[in-house]
Amino acid sequence: MEFILLDFNTEDLQILLFILFLPVYVVTMAGNVLIVILVAFNPHLHTPMYFFLGNLSCLETCYSSAILPRMLFGFLSGDKTISFSACLAQLYLFGVLAGTECYFLAVMSYDRYLAICKPLHYTMLMNGRVCSLLIAVSWICGSLGISVLIFLVSQLTFCGPNKINHFFCDFTPVIRLSCNDTALIEIIAFTVSFVCTLPPLLITLTSYVCIIHSILRIPSTTGKQKAFSTCSSHLTVVSCFYGSLMIVYVLPNISSLSEVKKLLSLFYTLLTPLLNPLIYSLRNKEVKEAVRKTFRKLHKLKIQKRENKRKF
Ligand SMILES: *[C@@H]1O[C@H](CO)[C@@H](O)[C@H](O)[C@H]1NC(C)=O
């Protein structure tokens, strides 16, 4: 009926962990919500790139909220029990959102590839319909395999041990507690994680190789440097995300690796949603300008209100 999440096996550091992880959650939510609001309310950010970034931020607020609030609550209250259905729900949400995020990142790099390497055809190739189609395909690819997998997990029987050695209901630690034979599920899980991570990774890498190739032909050195710094920061967060996901889900389940995998899963559960808005959006000139304009508008509104009050 119930599982117990052991998180980091540290009884005396709970408050410290809470103090460490609370700002991570707050900054993640603030950054991502800010981007969704900016994209929605600034007409000049209504371009494919910002639609993708807005959709990514929207997904990441849900993704963080699937894991962190429960974890923070556990640190604060010491209550580590989670019901079987809540555990499955968390596993499902996390799986669908992580799978979709993999495809989103690939779509975004393909969009940048078209914009930089095929600028003359860009507006024709990346129109509103194609954007929506790519987003829909990402959601479908991200959720199909996981849905089958979660259905299979829900059919397992759990009859004895209920301590999950992890900070959320992750796939491997949960099925390890089952008393059924899990060989088939593990093969399907391997296939699903392979299909969710490898093709997007290849698309992303190919796009960036083409982008870097065309950057090298820019004559000015400052232009080159700027483009390189943008590309390398994107590539760093993307490889952190795919790399840690692949090590955790595609590598075989050796128990000696389980502590390492637990630490690595901090990369894709905490770090990626925290860094993505900073790296992808808040560095851009257009976004900075949009932030400035929005604040100026708010300021003007305030002054107007004050004046109206005075008139009355
Ligand atoms: C997501 O993308 C679609 C276009 O495909 C767009 O209409 C929508 O506004 C985007 N959502 C956000 C939150 O940016």
Task: Report the CATH number at residue 143.
Answer: 1.20.1070.10
39 CA: nearest ligand 1 atom: 14
Q: Per-residue pLDDT tens for 212-252?
A: 888 888 777 777 777 777 778 888 888 888 888 888 887 77
pLDDT of amino acid 75: 85
Q: Whose CA is nearest to atom 10 of ligand 1?
A: 51
Q: Whose CA is nearest to atom 4 of ligand 1?
A: 132
Evaluate whether 80 touches 11 at the Cβ level (below 8 Å).
no
Q: Which domain holds residue 150?
A: 2-311
- pTM value is 0.87
As given in the structure block, the two tokens for residue 157 are 């029987």
Q: Whose CA is nearest to atom 11 of ligand 1?
A: 55
Q: Which residues of the chain have pLDDT under 70?
A: none
pLDDT of amino acid 132: 94
Q: How many domains does the chain have?
A: 1
**Residue whose C-alpha is closest to residue 154's, from 172, 120, 122, 178:** 178
As given in the structure block, the two tokens for residue 250 are 């595609």
